[in-house]
Amino acid sequence: MNKVKGVISGIEVSGSLSLVSVHCGNRVLKSIIIDTPDTLGYLVQGADVELLFKETEVVIAKPGPLDISLQNRIPATVFSISKGELLSSLILNSELGKLESIISTAAVTQLKLEPGKVVQAMVKLNEMMLSPC
Amino acid sequence: MITAELNKKLWSAQGGMELALRFDLGTGESLTLYGDSGAGKTSTLRMLAGLLPPDSGRIVVGGETWYDADKNIDLPPQQRDIGFVFQDYALFPNLTARQNLLYGLRKGEEDFLEELIAISGLGELQHKKPGQLSGGQQQRVALARALVRKPKLLLLDEPMSALDHQMRNQLQDFLINAQQSYGLTIILVSHDLGEVIKLSDRVAVLESGSICKVGSPAEVFMQHKISGKFQFSGRVLHIQQEEVVWIITLLIATNVVKVVVSEKESRELQVGDQVVVASKAFNPILNKV
């Protein structure tokens, strides 16, 4: 599980859903949750939180503009790659710290990923969990 | 309302230990004492029952003082309005299951006896003596006997450890009903996380004789308060590496499920560990059957 620390900078509520913006360094990451400030005590502006997301939910793209719905985008550099036959684990260095991504080995080959390469790590907002810290 | 303040020097395999506890419990509430062996859970129950004298402290139940070291009050167990089930059951060996229950029955409560016998599944076994019953069956008799007087305070030390899943579920439901019907206050010692979550309003975690954490089961066991709405508690059955990921097989209630984790997470897990499984409500799919 990847963990990124941040501060809640925005909460948009609609019914029982909240779209939470979390300031992490210079970047804003977003999470959609089934909770509101009334049901979740730490859901307040300025609260310290951690964003949690699975390695298997981290999408890897080459840098540059992309016509794609994923809005949580973190620039990173590939630090190391462990290749399995079907799956590979990528350790990434980013401004938010070390992240791990598990993608198919075929994709590693197709994108010609190797240590030192610059990439974008992307996560859907419905894959981000929140936890107070 | 129960107020307990208990201080006692205990001796365990690890050496001497100072037990020092203080807790309040509302009428009709249930509290679970949770912690490692030797943390002082059973000793606490025994002190509440009057079977083990504290060194100092106070026990007040519903305005009645059961124990007060300063005032030299120490009611014997039979004068404390309690029911208890201890790990060794302590049934009368020469009486049948039914006679064991009858022993504690108040006059005019015969209907309740029949209800207890039915719900504990003792109908066929009621005329057998403890020696003819299995461990699980004896445990059911002990639980029914503890309830037969509708005590103010019910003390349960691993009361269902010898029962199979189905009987355990049935008696847990029965306990919840009995608690609501008779306003029972329950103090439970259990290691079964599912049971703790189902039966207790509050959990106190004991460590070396003192309470290190107290709160609702969700607050105590789901420490991270993760926002994920798809949460269960389970037990690790198997850990297996597949290429760059680890597949953890978990038992959640009676279901076996598998969860993929990273190498780092797998290193923190061992077979037998209790875990909280969390996912976002957006991920699972539902298939009508």
Residues of chain A where predicted confidence (pLDDT) is lower than 70: none
Mean pLDDT: which of A116-125, B33-42, B148-157, B270-279 is highest? A116-125
Given this model, what pLDDT does residue B99 score?
A: 92
Tell how many helices (H) and how many strands (E) occur in chain B. Answer: 8, 15
- B101 in Cβ contact with B142 (< 8 Å): no
| Residues ≥6 apart with Cβ < 8 Å to B208 | B17, B39, B40
Residues B126, B142, B89, CA angle at the centre, nearest 5°? 125
Given this model, what pLDDT does residue B134 score?
A: 86
Q: Is A45 exposed, middle or buried (0-12, 13-18, 19+ CB in 10 A)?
A: exposed
Residues of chain B contacting residue A88, judged by C-beta atoms under 8 Å apart = 244
Cα dihedral A106→A111→A113→A118 (10° resolution):
-150
Average pLDDT of chain B, as a whole number: 87
Is the pLDDT at B76 greater than 90, yes or no?
A: yes
Read off the pLDDT of each residue in B141-150 and give the average, rounded to a whole number.
Answer: 88
Q: What Å distances lie between residue A129 and A3, A26, B42, B62, B219, CA to CA?
A: 10, 20, 39, 44, 17
Read off the pLDDT of each residue in B258-286 and give the average, rounded to a whole number.
Answer: 87
Given this model, what pLDDT does residue B105 score?
A: 86
Q: Of B228, B244, B283, which is closest to A89 when you measure between CB atoms?
A: B244
Token readout for B219 is 């607050």
Q: Model-level pTM?
A: 0.61
Given this model, what pLDDT does residue B222 score?
A: 65
Burial letters B58-68, b for 16+ CB under 10 A, else e:
bbbbeeeebbb
Task: List the single best residue of A8, A39, A42, A55 to mutate versus B (max B Cβ within 10 A).
Answer: A55
Instruction: Tell which wins on pLDDT, A98 or B143.
Output: A98
* CB contact residues (below 8 A), chain B span 241-280, against chain A: 242-245, 260-265, 278, 280
B184: helix, strand or coil: coil
Residues of chain A contacting residue B228, judged by C-beta atoms under 8 Å apart = 129
Given this model, what pLDDT does residue B104 score?
A: 80
Instruction: Tell which wins on pLDDT, B233 or A76.
Output: A76
Nearest CA to A96 out of A47, A48, A30, A24 is that of: A24
Question: How, if at all, do strands B185-189 and B30-35 pair?
Answer: parallel
B49: helix, strand or coil: helix
Is the pLDDT at B14 greater than 90, yes or no?
A: no
Lowest mean pLDDT among A58-72, B143-157, B177-191, B209-223: B209-223
Q: How confident is the model at residue B223 (pLDDT cuts 50, 70, 90)?
A: low
Is the pLDDT at B118 greater than 90, yes or no?
A: no
Is the pLDDT at B224 greater than 60, yes or no?
A: no
Q: How confident is the model at residue B225 (pLDDT cuts 50, 70, 90)?
A: low
Provide the CB-side half-sphere exposure for A44 (13 A, CA).
Answer: 5
d(CA B277, CA B252): 9
Residues of chain A contacting residue B244, judged by C-beta atoms under 8 Å apart = 82-84, 87-89, 102
